[in-house]
Amino acid sequence: MIFRVADLIEYVSEGITSKPDDVISTGTPPGVALNTGDSYLQLGDVIECEIEKIGILRNPVHAET
């Protein structure tokens, strides 16, 4: 990520009052990996997001159709 989570929360909090169940979705614009040296997702990669006591969401990378 380009910005730290604490910085994102601070920025969003300047405009709204957040509640305990609010979600802040993040992302990056196209081309960011080129400037950071990170690699792009490849076929077969799996992205996982885990929330303790709830479970894991797994998304495999497939070819675009």
pLDDT digits (tens, 9 = 90+) for 10-40: 999 999 998 888 888 887 767 666 666 666 7
The pLDDT assigned to 47 comes to: 92
The pLDDT assigned to 52 comes to: 92
Kindly state the helix (H) or strand (E) to which residue 55 belongs, with its residue range.
Answer: strand 55-60
Residue 7 has pLDDT above 80, yes or no: yes
Better-scored residue on pLDDT, 2 or 20: 20
Answer whether 0.75 is exceeded by the pTM: no
Q: Which of 32, 30, 42, 43 is nearest to 1 (CA)?
A: 32
DSSP 52: T
Q: Where are the domains of the chain?
A: 5-60
